[in-house]
Structure 1
Amino acid sequence: MTEQREASEDAVMTRIGQAVILLHAGDREEARNRLAELWAELDEDGDSLHRCTLAHYLADAQDDPADELAWDLRALIAAEGLEERLAERPPPGGAEPYRAVRVFYPSLHLSLAADYVKLRRPEAARLHLARARAATEALADDGYGNGVRAAIARLERRLAAEPGQGEGPPPRPFPEQSP
């Protein structure tokens, strides 16, 4: 039974990955449709990791900044649910799963900050940038961690330099998220 569940969970991540490949290849509509279909299949009480990952990529597939924000908020809520679940029932292996969840927060808050900039809500953007910056301690000193830190710094500079603070569409913090 456990092997069946693990295979099923791998299948969900595989399907997310396949849709993300479409997204990065520029087929936003097909990616959005596949991700939305998978979201509909997940139970509200389904695996928080799947929900977090799926919502994070669904945000990237949106054309409307308000829809993008809504999906990024869902991703953050799912990450918080995953952290709560791990705190209640720690898996064998100690604190490593906690660190793994904390690695999500810089990127999730960075995405929310970028959403708020697009929506011309600079104060909300600054709040999430501060949260992203504070959460970077969980990031490793590797390509991913350095990329997230650099994207945070770019968005911080952009907000600090702009007199209108949030006017017009910002550059995406991650090149692979470009429309």
Structure 2
Amino acid sequence: MAKGQEQAAPDAVMTRIGQVVILHHAGDREEARHRFLQLWSEIGEDGDPLHRCTLAHYMADAQDDPADELAWDLRALTAAEELTDDRLAAHEGALAVRALYPSLHLNLAADYVKLGRSGAARTHLRRARGAAQALADDPYGDGVRAAIHRLELRLGEDGASGEGVWGPPRQRP
């Protein structure tokens, strides 16, 4: 019975994160940030890396300030990097975190573009491109690869400085 309870707890946390994501997608950014912060305090800075990665990845999207968005995206990447092979084996479904690497690096590249740091943006864009090779040929993988390509084109259009007006990559209908 204890094993079942241990497995239910991670699912419960992921479910709660998903519920807040739905709230955010419904347009209530402020309430989503508030609930994400509550969950973050429950999980803790040293909590389960899978939970921290997932939560920080979504919390970044709920930020209004690009510097805050960058800080949360960096937390997500740090947590993902803490998932060692032994740790991954202990988590059912944690291999999905590896599939987040292209998105994590893409988000960091976009954050750095917003902050006018084109060198850092290009570094993370290269990392996103390298990690994207592990993505499946499915709608998620196709979408991430397309977003990487759009940001690569945008940085190329802006010249060596990477400056200019930029918006987040958008998916075509």
TM-score (norm 2): 0.89
2:163 aligns with: 166
**Gapped runs of 5+ residues in structure 1?**
none
Runs of 4 or more off by more than 4 Å in structure 1? 96-99
Q: Is the 8 A contact 1:52 1:74 kept in 2?
A: yes
1:112 aligns with: 108
Tell me the SS of whatever aligns to 1:26: coil
Tell me the SS of whatever aligns to 1:139: coil
Q: Is the 8 A contact 1:116 1:124 kept in 2?
A: yes
1:156 aligns with: 152
1:139 aligns with: 135
Matching of residue 79 in structure 1 with residue 80 in structure 2: yes
**Gapped runs of 5+ residues in structure 2?**
none
- CA deviations 1:20-50 (Å, max 9, x no partner) are 0111111110111111110000133321111
1:103 aligns with: 99
Cα distance in 2 for residues equivalent to 1:53 and 1:98: 10
1:7 aligns with: 8
The one-letter amino acid of 1:24's match is H
- CA deviations 1:46-103 (Å, max 9, x no partner) are 2111100000011000111000000000000000001x2xx245628xxx96853321
TM-score (norm 1): 0.87
Q: Is the 8 A contact 1:117 1:167 kept in 2?
A: no
The one-letter amino acid of 1:91's match is A
1:35 aligns with: 36
Aligned residues: 168
Change (3 A) 1:28 1:174: farther
The one-letter amino acid of 1:73's match is L
1:91 aligns with: 89
Q: Is the 8 A contact 1:118 1:166 kept in 2?
A: no
The one-letter amino acid of 2:38's match is E
